[in-house]
Structure 1
Amino acid sequence: MMTVAAARALTDGMTCFVGIGLPSAAANLARATHAPNLVLVYESGTIGAKPGRLPLSIGDGILAQTADAVISVPEIFNYWLQPGRIDVGFLGAAQIDKYGNINTTVVGDYGHPSVRLPGAGGAPEIAASCKEVIVIVRQSRRTFVEKVDFVTSVGYGAGPGDRERLGLRGRGPRQVITDLGVLTPDPRTCEFTMTALFPGVAAGTVRERTGWDVAIAVAPQVLPPPSAAELAALRELTASPPAR
């Protein structure tokens, strides 16, 4: 459901900065179904990759073999990402707060953390410079917190106007897709609101698994389940490659 919801958020002709995991599955599913002209850009330097199966990593040879072009990693960031040439970027999160700020650095005090996380990678640049960002993360109180312990990637800061004050080029996170549904930012406060739910998910479950007093739309959209075509395409992408 998360993969299909993310795929549906992509439109034909977009340029999409893709990460491995659910973002890669979603982007390739979109290209295989309703968005055949979606341009996939991977951090390793491949532009216009068209893999017939999901890549194992950003260094998987299938990306270079099927790409329109392969360039250097610095060129991906300096020419494509930072000037705002990427329409949408995907991000994950260890922690995310009500303003869409993301932590992938530490849990607890920075000097003496209880958990040291993988770190930033290219996420701060994606959050700052993509025209919009989609976050994909499972919803729990451990992840959805009132305030992140460390801001690795800026969402809307402390509220309206912060992205502009910081000089960030992109519009920020437009959707947070979870295993319960989809949250979108309130146009007035920038606080994330649950606006769509997967079938069978109750509002009470959303509140139980969110670490702040989350707003829920009066009549949240119920997202349709995956279609037969979407499931077939996803199963083909995730099928094991033939033995050699």
Structure 2
Amino acid sequence: MTYTTDEMMTVAAARSLRDGTSCFVGIGLPSTAANLARATHAPDLVLIYESGCIGAKPGQLPLSIGDGILAETADSLVSVPEIFNYWLQPGRIDVGFLGAAQLDRHGRINTTVIGDYADPKVRLPGAGGAPEIATACKDVVIIVRQSKRTFAERLDFVTSAGRPSMIITDLGVLRPRDGEFVLTQVHPGIEVSQAIEATGWPLRVSADLSTTEPPTPSELTALRRLTG
């Protein structure tokens, strides 16, 4: 089966989630990957959304954290303050899945503005729960399409300091080495030069660079059922 770079990225992100763990899910690419994981190898993955839905099991991708399908399929509904004060901030959630408008070589995230804060070129959705998710979850994974605009030498605004263990893109996978993120894996058909060209800082490449396993037919079928 043929597949797109976005599908490869989503499958790679889904594979990073273990069955039986809890995952604080951001809307967009993170939600697609987390729901794919639950639909394939991790049926007991507990999806937690910022709106207070614990154990959501949507049959289709939610449009926002306020989508009714999350509440309808959740094991439990709690208030937003409880999600943050009781579940997230004390470190009770295993993995945070986040997107980003910009990120730098240290894994810091910008989801606030592009350009000057007082007079921005683009006003982004804002922090939401990202600062708490980035610092309080036991592990953090960022999912984002890779480009020089996104992989910035210098952020226009630091929304979340963060400490991600992995950045998964449509070109490959980056992991932290000596304080900055380096390319450790490329997806099938992607050249290292493409990843370097799509990065706003001098991207280091791991000596033990590997290639991602391509999506299986069952993974693609499950993903297309979710997104179709």
TM over 0.5: yes
The 2-side partners of 1:110 and 1:4 are apart by 35
TM superposition shift of 1:148? 1.1
Q: Which residue of 1 aligns with 2:200?
A: 211
Contact persistence 2:29–2:99 (CA under 8 A)? no
Q: Specify which of 183, 196, 215 is matched with residue 174 of structure 2.
A: 183
Q: Specify which of 120, 126, 132 is matched with residue 125 of structure 1.
A: 132
1:192 counterpart letter in structure 2 = F
TM superposition shift of 1:143? 1.0
The 1-side partners of 2:87 and 2:77 are apart by 13
Q: Which is higher, the Rg of structure 1 or of structure 2?
A: 1
- CA distances 1:57-95 after superposition (whole Å, capped 9, x unpaired): 222222112111011111111111111111111111111
Q: Which residue of 2 aligns with 1:166?
A: none
The 2-side partners of 1:64 and 1:103 are apart by 29
Q: Which residue of 2 aligns with 1:55?
A: 62
CA RMSD between the two structures: 1.2
The 2-side partners of 1:82 and 1:132 are apart by 13
Distance 1:117 1:63, change over 3 A: closer
The 1-side partners of 2:75 and 2:123 are apart by 38
* TM-score for both structures, normalised by structure 2: 0.93
Q: Specify which of 4, 8, 12 is matched with residue 5 of structure 1.
A: 12
* TM-score for both structures, normalised by structure 1: 0.87
The 1-side partners of 2:55 and 2:124 are apart by 31
Query: How many residues matched?
Result: 221
Q: Specify which of 67, 70, 82 is matched with residue 75 of structure 1.
A: 82
Which ranges in structure 2 are unaligned for 5 or more consecutive residues? 1-7
Q: Specify which of 13, 26, 33 is matched with residue 19 of structure 1.
A: 26
Q: Percent of pairs identical after alignment? A: 68
The 1-side partners of 2:119 and 2:56 are apart by 41
The 1-side partners of 2:152 and 2:63 are apart by 31
- CA distances 1:16-62 after superposition (whole Å, capped 9, x unpaired): 01122211111111111111110000111110111122222222222
TM superposition shift of 1:179? 0.9
SS of equivalent residue, structure 1 residue 173: coil
